[in-house]
Amino acid sequence: MFIRQHKRRGVTSLIFLSAISIKCVLSAVPGGLDASYSDVPPDIGIAFYACNEQFNRKVRVLESLSWSVMRLRDDLILLRPDLRQSNDSSEIIKANIKECGKLIDDLELVSSASRDYDELREMLNDYRGITRRLKREQVKPETPAELNTELMHLEQVFEKKKVFASDVLRSDTAHHYREIAKRALTFIRQHQINKSRSPHFRVQELWRETEANPPASEADLVGDIEQPAEADSNTESEGGNEMMRKILNDRSELRSFYKVQADAKKILDMVHESLMNDAEGDAENSPPDSNKHILKYIPSRYDKSYDDIKDVINAWNVYKRYNDISDKMGKVYPKTPQAVELIREQKRLEVAFEEYAFLLRSSTLEDLWRELSHILHGLELYAINKYPKPKRHGTTLSAEETNHQITDEEKVTGGSYKTVSKYGIASHMRIRKVDLSSRFLTLGIGVVQTLTALVMIAVV
């Protein structure tokens, strides 16, 4: 009976995975973000979009651009009262106010689409997460049926997004968004002199001065990051993306971003295919009073969050490299070949960051931190129970433990170090308790030696 169930499960999974694979192959249309998809039928299902990496990258870029323009909208709203107090003629003032209002309306229209891109991206991530889970070797017999039901439900939900996804696929929306942002930035720069008389502007300047000199503990997260000179950020550069430049130079979400990427890296360090399969099998065979609920959600939550984990790490790499270059720029002479090449690289990084900027949205960072923390906690509990360390006999240490040297990285991480077992599982141990107990032992030995010396002196 058991063998028959597994055969039935394997056949069902194979059918669904074969259908998904065929759709994925059909989705691999050559070309870049702006490739022509005129031959693609508008009513195609979610599998086509989920398997099309070019389309997924396009959705991430559009989500970043539509979110980032909200800052420009806020700047224009603050600028509008200053336009009325300008020394220009009434006709010019009226024209400027009208143009400002038009830009605000355009930016609000762009930013209103951010939620649609967010929902579409999460839907596609969920679809890929379920298909990953279907490929797992160790899943209980009823799991494929449950996952296939989830896939069908996603297909039904996607029906409401089908027209939107088709429009995204065929149109060059990213170029349109960039042009609107460019017009807004140009308008703000043109009226910067009048805006400097506004108290709102002075508040923003004070905020920028504070951000330019962060606490030492914050700067340590990414090294000595120096803010570019105000003149550099206000000049229109050839290439690059000025909106991404502002986001990359803004460190208001640095601490949260650092924590999220640190958890993402720890998860990838711990996870490998055999661990996920073991967790699936152990969840099926564990007694009810064990950590069965933890074993159940580890593979599914990891599979659904994998795309986010990958995006967070890629985003941090771009962010880190960009600010490393900013640090170097303060140490080289301008207009030298080295400085020119560094500026070119920063512009390329600005364009690359369009794919990940949405991750710095406060709500997104908070959701990611919560989800990745749960996954990491579950993995650590499972690793401790699944691969326990051998018990020590007396005070004898193994050669590996004796030769272990605490590195600078271990000191930075608050006294924790990481060793990789033969299973490839990262085992985290605290050294502070060990260090504290060794201090008490040393103190006790010192007291005994002192008392012994006093007794010997008294006898003499």
Q: Distance between CA 240 and CA 347 in Å, rounded? A: 4
Of 389, 421, 447, the position where a domain reaches its end is 389
Is 190 contained in some domain?
yes
**Cβ neighbours of residue 49 closer than 8 Å, sequence gap 6 or more:** 27, 55, 56, 124, 165, 169
| 240 in the same domain as 205 | no
Residue 252 has pLDDT above 70, yes or no: yes
Please check whether residue 111 is in contact with residue 69, taking contact to mean a CB–CB distance below 8 angstroms.
Answer: yes
Average pLDDT over residues 198-207: 43
Is 265 contained in some domain?
yes
Per-residue model confidence as pLDDT tens digits over 137-194: 666 666 778 888 889 999 999 999 999 999 999 999 999 999 999 999 999 998 875 5
Query: What is residue 420's predicted lDDT score, i.e. its pLDDT?
Result: 36
Query: What is residue 3's predicted lDDT score, i.e. its pLDDT?
Result: 42
| 245 in the same domain as 204 | no
| 312 in the same domain as 172 | no
Please compute, for residue 217, the number of CA atoms within 13 A of its CA located in the half-sphere on the CB side: 3
Q: Which of 123-132, 181-190, 270-279, 288-297 has the lowest mean pLDDT?
A: 288-297
Please compute, for residue 302, the number of CA atoms within 13 A of its CA located in the half-sphere on the CB side: 29
Is 405 contained in some domain?
no
Percent of the chain with pLDDT over 70: 58
| 189 in the same domain as 240 | no
Query: What is residue 407's predicted lDDT score, i.e. its pLDDT?
Result: 40
158: amino acid identity, one letter: F
Of 389, 419, 443, the position where a domain reaches its end is 389
| 149 in the same domain as 46 | yes
Per-residue model confidence as pLDDT tens digits over 395-421: 443 434 434 443 433 333 333 333 333
Indicate the number of domains in the chain.
Answer: 2
| 113 in the same domain as 7 | yes
| 89 in the same domain as 131 | yes
Residue 393 has pLDDT above 70, yes or no: no
| 148 in the same domain as 268 | no
**Cβ neighbours of residue 48 closer than 8 Å, sequence gap 6 or more:** 23, 26, 27, 40
Query: What is residue 422's predicted lDDT score, i.e. its pLDDT?
Result: 31
Position 277 confidence tier, pLDDT thresholds 50, 70, 90: low
Is 196 contained in some domain?
yes
| 251 in the same domain as 208 | no
Q: Which of 20-34, 89-103, 397-411 has the lowest mean pLDDT?
A: 397-411
Average pLDDT over residues 214-239: 42
| 276 in the same domain as 193 | no
| 51 in the same domain as 184 | yes
Is 401 contained in some domain?
no
Task: To the nearest 10°, report the CA torsion of 70, 76, 78, 84.
Answer: -160
Residues pairing with 419 in the sheet: 427
Query: What is residue 226's predicted lDDT score, i.e. its pLDDT?
Result: 39
pTM above 0.85, yes or no: no
Which of the pair, 455 or 330, is modelled with greater confidence?
Answer: 330
Is 445 contained in some domain?
no
| 272 in the same domain as 164 | no
Of 156, 180, 212, the position where a domain reaches its end is 212
Residue 271 has pLDDT above 90, yes or no: no
Q: Distance between CA 220 and CA 214 in Å, rounded? A: 10
Q: Which of 71-85, 178-192, 205-219, 433-447 has the lowest mean pLDDT?
A: 205-219
Q: Distance between CA 290 and CA 275 in Å, rounded? A: 18
Query: What is residue 85's predicted lDDT score, i.e. its pLDDT?
Result: 85
Query: What is residue 353's predicted lDDT score, i.e. its pLDDT?
Result: 97
- Range of 373's domain? 236-389
Is 410 contained in some domain?
no
Is 366 contained in some domain?
yes
